[in-house]
Every structure is written in structure tokens, then in C-alpha cells.
Structure 1
Amino acid sequence: MEIISGRPAAIKSKNINQLEFWISTTLYILSLISICTKINYGPGRSYYYSDNGVSYNVLQNYFIPELFKVSMLYFSFLLFNFVSMPQLARKQNIIMNLIITVAVTAFSIVAWMVANTYTQAYRLIEYDDIDQAYGVFFGEAFSYIFFLYLLINAYSYFNERGLTLLKRIPFLNHYNNNIIPEIFTVTKIWLILLMVFAAVLSFRIDYELLIIWLVVPPVNIFFAFLAIYYIIPNLRKNFKGFGRYFWGNAGLTILISILLLIILIPFMRNGEIIPITLILNAICLICVTTPSAWYIYKHKFEKLSEIQMLKTELGKSDANLNFLKSQINPHFLFNALNTLYGTALQENAERTGEGIQKLGDMMRFMLHENTQDKISLTREVEYLNNYIDLQKLRISRAADIKIDARIEEQLNNLQITPMLLIPFIENAFKHGISLQQPSYIKITLQTKESTLYFDVSNSIYVKADNDPEKLKSGIGLENVKQRLSLLYYGKHELIIRETANEFFVHLTLQLD
């Protein structure tokens, strides 16, 4: 099973790598085409050179340096994304891959600086001496290459280990199972777009645009997940609509803007970008993220609600079908029981007549009320009492069997799904009673307001090897667990505990 379960993940990873390869290759080819088509545009830039008294050559000052820079970025991406970082993430050949990563980065910084001294040779005369100019070019190359390669390696590492890292965050495991893959996918998309954004900056980093891109998308992504998985569900539970959601988000946007203002001020070289970033972020939160999160929630979770409803209906249909199969022509059996009851009274067989009467009441319940979605708790309790009384008749001559049933009389209007509690009692009589050994069953049922508390405990004894019940599993209990999960999802607590001497069931149920 481990081999089978591992294959889809391996295939998926392989498909992702193939997709990344073809996307990066396509971008590389498009960049080469762009460089070639701009050759004629290159001489148009010669006035930068002529104004500064520097000679210009298309091949030397444009085509060859640009071709070299694009090719270097492409092959570095392939090396980091498909070779070095995946091995580092898997802790394979750590020393060798670290050396390769550092060496390629250092080479790329120097090569990028040299290439820029050709493509922007007109800038060299702006500085007092050539060493100062080379220092500026080196600083620009270092900032650009270091940041871009850091993004590439961060993306490659997250691609390998992201899901594992997200699964280690405790609070994420309390939400919908889809939230971790969704966060993983959205984060990858943001990193990809950030790499593309960094790549098109050419040779120097625009810190203002970079700050906007580093702040606005992550904040909006976090806000969207917060809205979809926390804010909207809690509002819907309290029957609040879009208006309350919108104005609540507006207030939350103000708080986020104040927090961002405190965080961004110390790191900004130009104060003008602070209000621009905050205003853009606020516009995106209010006008884009807020309605989008509402639409996604309704579109996504209404589909899940429909699926849950279909599962519920299917479970109810299966349960009704099973009950109908177990009745075996109930009309005929009900009429036969009436005949046997009359015969028992004629022969003064009081215990037999009482047993047949109890069984007849149970048959009537199954025939007329079992097919309903909900019945009164009073009728369900009557059925339980009839079943217990019938079982007491069977074991009345066994002195070592103790039956303690404390079922409160129900005078309320609570509704319950029929035949939901009886499997626990049937299981107790089926597996907890021995005619050869001391045994017991304890049953309690009580309600407080709209909450039902139901406990069943029974003794456990070792069955004989020839006992047909010895190897049977608790199919009835599995069925009732499924019915509870379908019909009372989030409204019940079921505890089943088994020791060497006792089997115990506790059910807490929120009723209508």
C-alpha cells in the first residue's frame, strides 16, 4: 500500500517539474526573440552614448551582453530548481550543492556587472574614476542577482518541502482539509510572479515597486484565507449577511493599514511610497479581496453543502432500505403476531402474550414510523422500553443477569431520527449477556433542555469457540456512526470505550 500511495505524488511532482521546465524554456525563447527584434531599436539608444562622447556598437553594447545575461538567468534557474535545491531540500550532497550555489551566484554577480559595463558604458563617465563606477555597477549587480537567486532558491525549496512545512503548523490542521494545498498553491503562484517581477527589473531594483509587491499581495492573500475560513463562517452561523461582513472588513482594513504603517516606516528610504502602498492595499482589500472571498466562500461551500446533503439523503435511503429488508414482509408478520397473541391469551400464557404484545408494538413502530425523517423522542423511548422489556422476559429466569435501565419519561416536544439509539442497546444484549456467567447491562437516558445524554455499559465475557457471534464485527455500531456523522454532523459527541471487562458507550446529542 505504501508503494501505491507514493506513486501519485511522484507522478504529480514529475508533472510539475516538466511544466516548470517548459514554462521557463518558453520565456527564454521569447526573451531571445525580443532581443533579436530590438536590434534595430538598439541604435536608437545611441544618443545616450553620443551625448557623453562614447562610441556605440550594436553587437558589443547590446546584443551579445543581453543574450549572455538572459542565457545566464535561464541556465541558473534550471540548475537551482531542478538540481541543487531539490537535493538540498532532501539533504543530499549538501556540501557539494552549497558550493555550486555559492559559486554560480558569485559568477553571475561578476558576469552581470561586466555585461552592464557594456550595455550601459555611457554611465561610466558619470563618476569621478573608473573604480567608483565599477563599485556602483557591482553593487547593482549584487543586489539584483542576490535577490533574484534568493527568490529562485526559496521557490525551489518551497516546491519541495512546502506541503510538509505547512502540515507542521498546528492551527492549520483544525480547518478544512483543503486549506493547506490551497495555501501551498497560492504561495507558489506569488513566488513565481515575484520572480518574474524581479527578472523584468533588468539591472537595478525599484525599491518602491518591490515594497508594494512584497506587501500588497501577501496581505490580501492572508486576508482572503482569514475571511473564507474564519470571518464568513462565523458570520453565517449568526445569520449575518454581506453588509455586516463588508463593514467589518472595512474596520479590519483600517487596523491593518495602521499596523503596516508602523512596520514600513523604518524600512522605507522614500516616505512617499508609504501612503501609496497603504492606499493601494486598502483599495485591494475593500474592492477586490472582500467581494472575491465572499463569492469564493458561497461558490465553494454551497457546493460542499449540496454534497453533504446528497450524502445525508443517500445515507438515509440506505438506512431505510436496510430496515425494510430486515422487516421481511412486515404486514404478514404483524397479522401473524396478532393471531399468536390471541392464542396465548386463550391458553393463559401471560408471559408469552406479554412478549408477543411487546413485539407487536415494536413491529407497528417499524412499520409506521421508522420511514419518517424525524419522530418524537417519546415514541423512540417507548420503542426502547418495549425492546428492553422483551429482552427481560427472555432472561427472567437467569438470576446472575442484572438489567438496570433508567430511561426518563419524555414529556417534551423534541424530535429525533428513528432507530438511532436502539443499535447500542441491541449490541449490549447481543454481546454483553451470558446465560452461564454473571453479566450486567446498565442503560441511562435523560435530557436537559435540547440535549440528550445516553449511556450504555455492559459486561464482557469470553465467548465459546462454537459461538456464532464470536467472530462477528459490530456492523450495527458502524452503521449508527455513519448515520450520526451524516444526520447530526457537528451536533453529537460519541465516546466508545472498551476494557477487558466492560464495553461503554456515551452519546451526547443536540436535538431539534
Structure 2
Amino acid sequence: MKITASLKNSTLYKECGIALTTWLLLFSFLLFQQPRSELTGYVALVFPYAIVFYWFCYAKLIPGIIRKQQDYRIYLLKVILTIALTALPIIAATSKLATGLYLFAGIFTLAFQLVFTAPIAWEVYHYRLRTGKEINRLKIALGRSDANFQFLQSQINPHFLFNALNTLLGTAMQEKAERTGEGIQMLGDMMRFLLHEQGKEFIPLKHEIDYLHRFIALQKLRIRRSPNILIEIMIEEPPEELEILPMLVIPFIENAFKHGISLRLPSRISISLKTEAQTLYLHVSNTIHTKKTNDLEKEIGGIGLKNVRQRLKLIYPQQHKLVTGEMENIFFVNLQIQLTKIT
């Protein structure tokens, strides 16, 4: 955050410097113009004030107006008040230099700042603001496309798998391998979900959780005969009207089963998921079991979590909070997402 703020301030002062250099060049042109008239001399006197006033509007006054979501009328009011307070020294100075011109000095100062300096500062700042928003929009669009592409690349083609699973299911039924057939049936249901939901921008939260239940049931089938494995599941039924990015929650659960299960050592996985209002709360924790350095499954799991982080930053930039960490040989994930309603 400090680095970002520093970069923003650096850009702001750089733009102010460019604008002030332009003002100084104009000031120099008027100062050295021959022959000099009283008006030229007075404009040369007002220019330094205009330079400082422009910087004040651009760097201080306008950002405060934008931050408080005030409009141009408030800006003009503050400009007039600032000019009224700061123009008095100039009026006093010009009244001593040229008797009889002090009233004109005040009127000219007020008019010059209102007609030129204040509007120019306002327009330049808003042009910078619009340009920045457009750049951010393009970055988000480009990043979202890249994240979705990586996500799709990381998934095995479900069409091929679905056909292969049907073949395996038929073979298992013929050989009366009921447990294997049950697992294949569950996996087939998961593939059906991928076929139906893949490519959509958002899906009902209920569909995501249905897939989650199937995945957990499949994992329990695998570890059914392992007494040292404890699985704690607390998933509340979600509201019908909430939607979520597809396959956003599931990688955290997959990661827990990939790295938190050992058929030889005591293992524990805890999954808690609930919603309050439009906020989703997910807590996942699992026992840490050391994997080999070149373990392919470990590398795939790391890529999956990295992609999820990227998708969260792109789609829910200000609407999520993700905390991961380790504590006493336990890896944990705490995720909060402010979801939207189905439109």
C-alpha cells in the first residue's frame, strides 16, 4: 500500500512539475516582453500567484473534493474563498506600486484564477482520473482473460473423461466392483457439473456447494477404511439468490485433501462454510504432511491456489479477504467474499 501511494504521489508531483514549467515559460515570456505595458507588468505579477494556486488546486483541493464525493459547485466555492483570502496581499502590493489600481488588481486576480487557473486544474485532474480508470479497466479485462485461460488449461478436458468414465462404470458393474462403481458414478456427476458450468462467468452458489459435496463424498470413499483420518464438515445450505465465480472455493478443498491426507499417519481435515447476508465465510484446515520436493501433485496444488488468488484479485478486488498460514503443523485458509445476487 505504501509503495502504491508513493507511486501515485510521484506521478502527481511529476504532472504538477510539467504544468508549473509551462506556467513559468509563459511567465518568462511576459516578463521579458518589450515594450512593457501596465497590464503586462501586472499579469507578470499575478503569474507566480497563479502557479502556486494551480498546484494547490491540483494537488490538494481537487483530491479532497473527489474523496468526499462533492461536485464542481463546492469546488468553485472553495476556490472563491481561497482567492478572497490569498488575493489581499496582492491587492495591497499593487495599491502601493500603482495608486488607483488596487481595485482592478483584486478584480483581475479573481477573474484570472476563476476563468483560467481553477478550470484548467479541474479538467487536467479529471483527464488524469479518466485515463487512469480506463487503464485499470483494460488491465482487469486482460488479466481476467489470462486467468480464465490458465484456469481452463489446468483442467483436463471433461468431455473425454466423461466418456471414459462411462466405459469404466460399465466394466465395474460387470465385475461387481460396487465400491469402484460408486466412485466412478460420483466422478461422472462431477464431470457433468464441469460440462454444464464451465465457461460461465458466474453460477449459483448452491451449484458450487453441490459440487463440493460430491467431491468430499468421493474423497471419503477413498479413505473409508483408514481409522486415523478425521474429516469434519460443517457446510450450511446457501441462499438461492447468491452467485459466485465457478470453481472458486473448490481448489481450497482439493488442496486440503491433496496435502492433508496420509494413509499411514494421523490426519485431520476441517471444512466450515456458511453465508451471512451476502458474505461467504470459508475456513479450511488440514494436517501438514511433508511431500517430496519433486512431487508433481504438490506442484499442481501450488499452481491451483496461485490461480485462485489471481482470480479473486481480478473479480473481487475490494470484496474479499484471504488469509492462509501454518500453525502447529496445521495449514489453514480463511476466506471471506462479498457475493452478488443473481440478476
Fold match (TM-score > 0.5): yes
Q: Is the radius of gyration larger for structure 1 or structure 2?
A: 1
CA distance in 1 between counterparts of 2:303 and 2:167 reads 33
Question: Following superposition of structure 1 onto structure 2, how do residues 243-322 of structure 1 map, counting pairs within 5 Å?
Answer: 245-260=71-86, 264=89, 268=93, 270=95, 279=107, 282-283=110-111, 286-288=114-116, 291-292=119-120, 295-296=123-124, 299-322=127-150
CA deviations 1:302-331 (Å, max 9, x no partner) are 444444444434344334434444554422
Q: SS at the partner of 2:291?
A: coil
Whether 2:294 is the aligned partner of 1:497: answer no
Question: Following superposition of structure 1 onto structure 2, how do residues 73-222 of structure 1 map, counting pairs within 5 Å?
Answer: 172-173=5-6, 175=8, 178-186=11-19, 212-222=46-56
Superposed displacement of residue 295, structure 1:
4.2
CA distance in 2 between counterparts of 1:399 and 1:176 reads 59
Over 3 Å counting, the alpha-carbon distance change for 1:265 and 1:209 in structure 2 is closer
CA deviations 1:17-39 (Å, max 9, x no partner) are xxxxxxxxxxxxxxxxxxxxxxx
Aligned match for 2:207, one of 352, 372, 379: 379
Question: Conserved in 1, the CA contact under 8 Å of 2:58 and 2:125?
Answer: no
Aligned match for 2:238, one of 397, 410, 415: 410
CA deviations 1:119-162 (Å, max 9, x no partner) are xxxxxxxxxxxxxxxxxxxxxxxxxxxxxxxxxxxxxxxxxxxx
Whether 2:245 is the aligned partner of 1:426: answer no
Question: Conserved in 1, the CA contact under 8 Å of 2:91 and 2:105?
Answer: no
Superposed displacement of residue 359, structure 1:
1.5
Runs of 5+ consecutive residues of structure 2 not aligned to the other structure = 35-39
Question: Conserved in 1, the CA contact under 8 Å of 2:53 and 2:117?
Answer: no
Instruction: Name the structure with the higher strand share.
Output: 2
Instruction: Compare 362-371 and 465-474 and name the one that shifted more.
Output: 465-474
Over 3 Å counting, the alpha-carbon distance change for 1:319 and 1:284 in structure 2 is same
Question: Conserved in 1, the CA contact under 8 Å of 2:200 and 2:246?
Answer: yes
CA distance in 1 between counterparts of 2:268 and 2:103 reads 75
Equivalent position amino acid for 1:213 in 2: F
RCO higher in 1 or 2 (8 Å CA, sep ≥ 6)?
2
Question: Conserved in 1, the CA contact under 8 Å of 2:281 and 2:336?
Answer: yes
Over 3 Å counting, the alpha-carbon distance change for 1:332 and 1:269 in structure 2 is closer
Equivalent position amino acid for 2:15 in 1: E
Runs of 5+ consecutive residues of structure 1 not aligned to the other structure = 1-167, 236-243
Correspondence for 1:19: none
Superposed displacement of residue 420, structure 1:
1.5
Backbone CA RMSD of aligned residues: 4.0
TM-score (norm 1): 0.54
CA distance in 1 between counterparts of 2:318 and 2:156 reads 35
Q: SS at the partner of 2:71?
A: helix
CA distance in 2 between counterparts of 1:355 and 1:274 reads 93
Question: Conserved in 2, the CA contact under 8 Å of 1:232 and 1:294?
Answer: no
CA deviations 1:4-26 (Å, max 9, x no partner) are xxxxxxxxxxxxxxxxxxxxxxx
Superposed displacement of residue 337, structure 1:
2.4
Aligned match for 1:401, one of 229, 252, 269: 229
CA distance in 2 between counterparts of 1:286 and 1:434 reads 74
Equivalent position amino acid for 1:459 in 2: T
Over 3 Å counting, the alpha-carbon distance change for 1:468 and 1:482 in structure 2 is closer
Over 3 Å counting, the alpha-carbon distance change for 1:366 and 1:468 in structure 2 is closer
CA distance in 2 between counterparts of 1:404 and 1:279 reads 77
Instruction: Name the structure with the higher helix share.
Output: 1
Question: Conserved in 2, the CA contact under 8 Å of 1:408 and 1:445?
Answer: yes
CA distance in 2 between counterparts of 1:179 and 1:510 reads 32
Question: Conserved in 2, the CA contact under 8 Å of 1:405 and 1:444?
Answer: yes
CA distance in 2 between counterparts of 1:283 and 1:267 reads 17
Over 3 Å counting, the alpha-carbon distance change for 1:298 and 1:180 in structure 2 is closer
Whether 2:175 is the aligned partner of 1:361: answer no
Whether 2:334 is the aligned partner of 1:506: answer yes
Whether 2:65 is the aligned partner of 1:231: answer yes
Over 3 Å counting, the alpha-carbon distance change for 1:194 and 1:297 in structure 2 is closer
Aligned match for 1:448, one of 273, 276, 281: 276
**Residue identity (%):** 44
Equivalent position amino acid for 1:363 in 2: M
Q: SS at the partner of 2:240?
A: coil
Q: SS at the partner of 2:211?
A: helix
Q: SS at the partner of 1:403?
A: strand
TM-score (norm 2): 0.76
Superposed displacement of residue 281, structure 1:
5.6
Q: SS at the partner of 2:290?
A: coil
Question: Conserved in 2, the CA contact under 8 Å of 1:172 and 1:179?
Answer: no
CA distance in 1 between counterparts of 2:209 and 2:232 reads 15
CA distance in 2 between counterparts of 1:233 and 1:450 reads 27
Over 3 Å counting, the alpha-carbon distance change for 1:198 and 1:259 in structure 2 is same
CA distance in 1 between counterparts of 2:10 and 2:243 reads 32
Over 3 Å counting, the alpha-carbon distance change for 1:305 and 1:171 in structure 2 is closer
Correspondence for 1:46: none
Question: Conserved in 2, the CA contact under 8 Å of 1:457 and 1:505?
Answer: yes
CA distance in 1 between counterparts of 2:148 and 2:173 reads 34
Superposed displacement of residue 379, structure 1:
1.0
Q: SS at the partner of 2:227?
A: coil
